């Protein structure tokens, strides 16, 4: 185990925007009362915590790991939905640009938003910087508190079993623990073990 590094990816708690099923990318929606009540401190030996710089992730990290200040990383933000931020499917369903994006989300870009390629590139950049930092410090267990899309990308890239982006279910109140051989991680290879972790007392997705 000395040559392994464990990275756990946590999705932030439920927000007010999540409760009304609105698109939430860079908009800084706070955790809802339900979201806060569902989360609880994790009894773990995590040595370093990274977080998206948006409030819902920072606050989630503070609840999960109250004794470890989270290092904020803008690179771990959700994709930017542009003009669709804060809007629901019902509000957008008659928008032709939106319907085209639903059909081709990896090649179309939300108006004023971010395309998938830029989204993926910045996640990769943030991931590599964080992994370099923890490996240089001898950290063996670290956590990243972030967003659903970010976690899907990282699972698609590093899970031991290959699955497409949308095949990963990443609900609020869960985390994914990835165990890497350190040399594999340095080479950008997949992890050797993946486990789902529940972080809410009342897991309802």
What does the pLDDT look like over 96-153, one tens digit per residue?
A: 999 999 999 999 999 999 999 999 999 999 999 999 999 999 999 999 999 999 999 9
Is residue 90 included in any domain, yes or no?
A: no
Q: Is 11 annotated as a binding residue?
A: yes
Q: How many domains does the chain have?
A: 1
Is residue 35 included in any domain, yes or no?
A: yes
Bridge partners, 143 (sequence order): 8, 49
Is residue 88 included in any domain, yes or no?
A: no
Question: Is residue 205 scored above 50 in pLDDT?
Answer: no
DSSP state of 67: T
Question: Which residues span the domain enclosing 11?
Answer: 4-80+115-198
Is residue 135 included in any domain, yes or no?
A: yes
d(CA 105, CA 52): 22
Q: Is 18 annotated as a binding residue?
A: yes
pLDDT of residue 201: 54
Buried residues in 151-184 as b, exposed as e (16+ CB within 10 A): bbbbbbbbbeeeeeeeebebebbbbbbbbbeeeb
Is residue 86 included in any domain, yes or no?
A: no
Confidence of residue 199 (pLDDT cuts 50, 70, 90): confident
Is residue 122 included in any domain, yes or no?
A: yes
Q: Is 186 annotated as a binding residue?
A: no
CATH number of the domain residue 36 falls in: 3.40.50.1240
Bridge partners, 72 (sequence order): 51
User: Would you please indicate which residues are annotated as catalytic (active-site) residues?
Assistant: 12, 78
Span of 28-37, 78-87, 125-134 with lowest mean pLDDT: 28-37
């Amino acid at each position: 185990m000395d040559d392994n590094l464990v990275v756990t990816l946590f999705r932030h708690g439920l927000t007010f925007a999540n409760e009304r099923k609105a698109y939430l990318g860079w908009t800084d929606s706070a955790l809802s009362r339900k979201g806060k009540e569902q989360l609880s401190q994790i009894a773990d030996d995590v040595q370093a915590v990274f977080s998206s710089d948006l409030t819902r992730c920072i606050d989630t990290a503070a609840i999960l790991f109250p004794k470890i200040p989270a290092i904020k990383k803008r690179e771990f933000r959700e994709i930017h939905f542009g003009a669709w931020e804060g809007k629901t499917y019902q509000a957008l369903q008659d928008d032709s640009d939106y319907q085209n994006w639903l059909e081709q989300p990896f090649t179309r870009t939300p108006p004023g938003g971010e395309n998938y390629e830029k989204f993926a590139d910045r996640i990769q950049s943030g991931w590599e910087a964080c992994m370099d930092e923890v490996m240089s410090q001898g950290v063996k267990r670290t956590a990243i508190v972030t967003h659903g899309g970010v976690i899907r990308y990282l699972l698609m890239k590093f899970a031991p079993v290959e699955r497409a982006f949308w095949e990963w279910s990443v609900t609020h109140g869960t985390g994914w623990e990835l165990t890497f051989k350190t040399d594999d991680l340095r080479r950008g290879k997949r992890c050797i073990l993946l486990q789902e972790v529940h972080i809410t007392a009342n897991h309802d997705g």
